[in-house]
Amino acid sequence: MAYREDADLVFFSKLDSDSLNDLVYCLTHDKDGSVRFTEELTYNETYKNHYPDHKKYWELIAAEIQCFGANTFATLLRGGKGVPYKEILIDVCDKMKVNYSKESSTEKIENNLLMKILTDALEKMSPEELKELAESIGVSNINLMTAESLVGIFQAVFRAGGFKSYQLTLIIVNAVLKAIIGRGLSLAGNATLMRTMSILTGPIGWAITGAWTAVDIASPAYRVTIPAVIQVAALRQKHLYEKQAADVNFS
């Protein structure tokens, strides 16, 4: 396993180790908590020497994603290097029937994937659940709105960016990961986000999870690449939001 230069994953170097915890767990453990037979990360000496300080081996984490998304024999021919992240993202989007353009930026394609996940989940919710979700992220004046208009508001919130969009991303990603890898995101230390996540213990969480229990990810590769790509997309949103917030505070 060797990291290939990848402009779409270099932002890992800007993340703290805690932020990378969930992604590392996803790459190294199956849904039942056992270590994956096909992972290579935990065998690396750099990993062994510095775990759990993931920031010190972010390239290895990126390489693990690249290799899971590649054909094993082809990886050997490339000297142990996998494929660029964008190729993996596009493959996942094709699998999930996401509408996107290959010419778009990686961030835009990830947003299309997250929007598809969001829309699929929202369509499973009752009007009451939609209103509860809207209230949880601070959307007001919703009592007279229809389910269709609420879906439109959520989509507009997501596209607008900012903290509400970040909240919405984490709510959806958290529930999806619980459904497909058996555990959600680690958000200790952020009281606002923890309160937001509390709604996932009720019907809203069941609705989002239910939308994913029927997803066919029987392929061992997809069992890794789908949750990994969803987490990378969420991490990118986190990085961009925190960068934006820091720029505002600095100015």
The pLDDT, as a whole number, for residue 250 is 54
Mean pLDDT of 94-120: 89
* Residue from 114, 138, 60, 65 nearest 240 by CA: 114
The pLDDT score that the predictor gives to residue 189 is 45
Mean pLDDT of the chain: 80
Does 47 or 213 have the greater pLDDT score? 47
Following DSSP, what letter does each residue of the chain receive, concatenated?
-B----TTTGGGGGS-HHHHHHHHHHHHB-TTSPBPTT--GGGSHHHHHHTT-GGGGHHHHHHHHHHHTS-HHHHHHTTSB---HHHHHHHHHHHTT----TTS-HHHHHHHHHHHHHHHHHTTS-HHHHHHHHHHTT--S-TT--HHHHHHHHHHHHHH-HHHHHHHHHHHHHHHHHHHHS-----TT-HHHHHHHGGGGSHHHHHHHHHHHT----SHHHHHHHHHHHHHHHHHHHHHHHHHHHHHHH-
Tell me the pLDDT tens digit for each residue of 196-205.
555 555 555 6
Distance in angstroms (rounded) separating the CA atoms of residues 69 and 88: 5
Q: Which of 10-19, 102-111, 219-228 shows the lowest per-residue confidence on average (mean pLDDT)? A: 219-228
Confidence band of 72 (pLDDT split at 50, 70, 90) = very low
Residue range 141-167: mean pLDDT, rounded: 78
Is the pLDDT assigned to residue 134 strictly greater than 50?
A: yes
Q: Which of 103-117, 131-145, 200-214 has the highest mean pLDDT?
A: 103-117
User: Of residues 23 and 151, which shows the higher confidence score?
Assistant: 23
Q: Domain ranges in the chain?
A: 10-250
Say whether pLDDT at 249 is over 80: no
Of all residues in the chain, the percent with pLDDT exceeding 70 is 79
Residue 75 in this model has a pLDDT that exceeds 50 = no
Q: What is the pLDDT of residues 193-237, one digit of tens each?
A: 556 555 555 555 666 666 555 555 556 677 888 889 999 998 998
What is the pTM (predicted TM-score) of this model?
Answer: 0.85
pLDDT score, position 77: 41
CB 27 within 8 A of CB 57: no
